[in-house]
């Protein structure tokens, strides 16, 4: 079986990047783990640098040992280099316009008068884990740190839309933040949701992360939270909501962030899909967080393997662990379930008795039976990665 953790490691060390890419004929802008630096940006702890302009920073895995990801450790991803670096709440407004009875403009004070909603939800970039794609694909070469589990506080999008009053013929809702393209030819980051999705109870305009203001880099003062769906829809520094009567022609909906239109969102590796749809719900995943891949352990000494598991809005029902490369599987103990959008922690006590190299695998299944494939599914944009990882732990 191809194992992503191990094969990528060997791939980097032994095969070499150029050889592998020559085989596929493409050269993505690759930044591998060994080449990454830890950097500190405003309001952030040391994160792994992907690009600095625009900032793309990834969370070191050690932060996922906690159920909740601290604000200063949450990953950062912007598409456009002209990002907001300060916002004056005295003049800032959230504008709702388009096909509505009454366009409205809300201050932070106005926003906070709507009923407050608080829940924990995983935020994950659609391209999280993209660096493990084989054959490799273009796009940010994320490891698994483009995700986090955060308690969001805010107000229902639906309440705001109803305040403005939806007119008949409304079809979708378009969201825009304060970030801008540097070059006029680059399309602004506009994302949209179909109207019925936008009106779902759980979608909020969030002004709090873990009980505090949002860091600037994570979208201060407010961002959209679409729990269960990939973070591309979670528009940051949200300032403009437009109700439309027809689907927008935005580049970020029509061309980017699309997946093959089939049940797996995948195609034969190296081929192009015939038809695509906008990316949406997250796939089910489980990750080993501690001890990290490649760790050395002492034989006879008890250790507790731990990690996280989550899925696109359905609670995790079961996590199975194998320490022998997939021959035998046993259930892990699950931590507290704090809601269907949160990740759950899993724990697996283990006492290896014989020295050697152990292949640890983890597999989660959610409450509607969605699980993880043994072999990674492939699509040209490097989205939806969720195969069962295979980790190497060395017992001496």
Task: Give the binding site for ligand MTE (CB under 6 A).
Answer: 74-79, 123, 125, 177, 179, 189, 218-219, 231-232, 234-237
Instruction: Give the nearer residue to ligand MTE in terms of CB position, either 111 or 231.
Output: 231
Residue 289, both tokens: 């967080």
Instruction: Give the C-alpha separation, 330 to 88, whole Å.
Output: 53
Assigned token pair, 341:
């959008």
Q: Which residue, 84 or 352, is less far from Mo ion as judged by CB?
A: 84
Q: Which partner, Mo ion, ligand MTE, none, binds residue 236 by CB below 5 to 8 Å per kind?
A: ligand MTE
Picked from Mo ion, ligand MTE, none, the partner binding residue 243 (CB below 5 to 8 A depending on kind) is: none
Q: Closest separation between CB of residue 223 and ligand MTE, Å?
A: 7
Number of H helices, E strands in the chain: 6, 24
Task: Between 73 and 362, name the residue whose CB sits nearer to ligand MTE.
Answer: 73
List all residues 6 or more positions away from 261 whose beta carbon is below 8 Å from its beta carbon: 273, 274, 275, 276, 277
Q: How far is the CB of 106 from ligand MTE (least distance, A)?
A: 18
**Element of type H or E holding 162:** helix 157-164
Handedness of CA 262, 265, 269, 271 (dihedral sign): positive
Write down the least CB distance from residue 318 to ligand MTE, Å.
28
Q: Nearer to ligand MTE by C-beta: 74 or 361?
A: 74
Task: Between 152 and 346, name the residue whose CB sits nearer to ligand MTE.
Answer: 152
125 binds Mo ion (CB under 5 A): yes
Measured torsion, CA atoms of residues 360, 361, 367, 373, in degrees rounded to the nearest 10: 170
Rounded to a whole number of angstroms, the minimum distance from the CB of residue 126 to Mo ion is: 5
Q: Which does 61 bind (CB under 5 to 8 A by kind): ligand MTE, Mo ion, none?
A: none
Footprint (CB under 5 A) of Mo ion, residues 42-81: none
Q: Give the nearest distance from C-beta 14 to ligand MTE in angstroms.
A: 32
Residues 338-367 that bind Mo ion (CB under 5 A): none
- Minimum distance between the CB of residue 209 and ligand MTE, rounded to whole angstroms? 9
- The side-by-side arrangement of strands in the sheet containing 204-209 is 116-124, 147-156, 204-209, 223-225
Contact 364, 372 (CB under 8 A): yes
DSSP line for 199-266: T-TT-EEEEEETTBPPPGGGTSS-EEE-TTB-GGGS-SSEEEEEEESS----HHHHTSSEEESSTTS-
Q: Which is nearer to Mo ion, 125 or 320 (CB)?
A: 125
Question: Which residues, 6+ apart, have CB-to-CB distance to 63 below 8 Å?
Answer: 69, 70, 73, 148
Beta carbon nearer to ligand MTE, 43 or 110? 43
Residue 310's binding partner out of ligand MTE, Mo ion, none, with CB under 5 to 8 Å set by partner kind: none
Note whether 122 binds Mo ion by CB under 5 A: no
User: Which of Mo ion, ligand MTE, none does residue 74 bind (CB under 5 to 8 Å by kind)?
Assistant: ligand MTE
Minimum separation from the CB atom of position 308 to ligand MTE (A): 16
User: Which residues 180-239 are close enough to bind Mo ion by CB under 5 A?
Assistant: 232
Is the sign of the CA dihedral 55, 24, 373, 1 positive or negative? Answer: negative
Enumerate residues 6+ apart whose C-beta is below 8 A from 123: 74, 147, 148, 149, 150, 225, 231, 234
Sequence-ordered list of residues with C-beta below 8 angstroms from that of 27, at least 6 positions apart, any chain: 21
Distance (Å, rounded) from C-alpha 311 to C-alpha 371? Answer: 9
Shortest CB 137 distance to ligand MTE, Å = 16
The entry of Mo ion, ligand MTE, none that residue 234 binds, CB within 5 to 8 Å by partner kind? ligand MTE
CA distance 37 to 150: 25
Tell me the closest approach of the beta carbon of residue 371 to ligand MTE, in angstroms.
Answer: 24
Cα 256 to Cα 259: distance, rounded to the nearest angstrom: 9
Residue 218 binding partner per list ligand MTE, Mo ion, none, with a CB distance cut-off of 5 to 8 Å that depends on partner kind: ligand MTE
> Which residues in this chain contact Mo ion in the complex, by CB under 5 A?
125, 232
């Amino acid at each position: 079986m191809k194992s992503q953790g191990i094969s990528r490691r060997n791939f980097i060390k032994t095969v070499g990047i150029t050889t592998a890419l020559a085989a596929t004929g493409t050269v993505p802008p690759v930044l591998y783990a060994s080449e990454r630096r830890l950097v500190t940006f405003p309001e952030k702890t040391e994160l792994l640098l992907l690009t600095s302009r625009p900032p793309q920073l990834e969370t070191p895995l050690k932060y996922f040992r906690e159920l909740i990801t601290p604000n200063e450790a949450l990953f950062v991803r912007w598409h456009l280099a002209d990002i907001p670096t300060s916002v004056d709440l005295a003049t800032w407004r959230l504008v709702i316009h388009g096909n509505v009875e009454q366009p409205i403009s809300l201050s932070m004070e106005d926003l906070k008068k709507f009923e407050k909603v608080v829940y924990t939800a995983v935020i994950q970039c659609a391209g999280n884990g993209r660096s493990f794609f084989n054959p490799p694909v273009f796009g940010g070469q994320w490891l698994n740190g483009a995700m986090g589990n955060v308690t969001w506080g805010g107000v229902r999008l639906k309440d705001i839309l109803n305040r403005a009053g939806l007119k008949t013929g409304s079809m979708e809702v378009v969201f825009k933040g304060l970030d801008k393209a540097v070059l006029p030819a680059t399309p602004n980051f506009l994302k949209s949701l179909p109207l019925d999705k936008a009106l779902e109870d759980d979608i909020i305009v969030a002004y709090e992360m873990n009980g505090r203001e949002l860091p600037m880099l994570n979208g201060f003062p407010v961002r959209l939270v679409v729990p269960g769906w990939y973070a591309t829809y979670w528009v940051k520094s949200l300032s403009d909501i437009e109700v439309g009567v027809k689907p927008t022609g935005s580049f970020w909906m029509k061309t980017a962030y699309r997946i093959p239109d089939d049940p797996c969102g995948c195609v034969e590796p190296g081929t192009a899909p015939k038809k695509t749809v906008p990316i949406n719900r997250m796939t089910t995943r489980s990750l080993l967080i501690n001890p990290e891949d490649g760790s050395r352990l002492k034989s006879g000494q008890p250790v507790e393997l731990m990690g996280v598991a989550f899925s696109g809005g359905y609670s995790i029902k079961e996590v199975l662990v194998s320490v022998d490369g997939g021959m035998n599987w046993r259930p892990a103990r699950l931590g507290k379930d704090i809601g269907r959008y949160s990740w759950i922690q899993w724990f697996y006590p283990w006492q290896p008795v014989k020295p050697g190299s152990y292949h640890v695998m983890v597999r989660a299944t959610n409450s509607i039976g969605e699980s993880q494939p043994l072999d990674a599914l492939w699509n040209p944009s490097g989205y939806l990665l969720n195969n069962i990882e295979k980790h190497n732990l060395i017992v001496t």
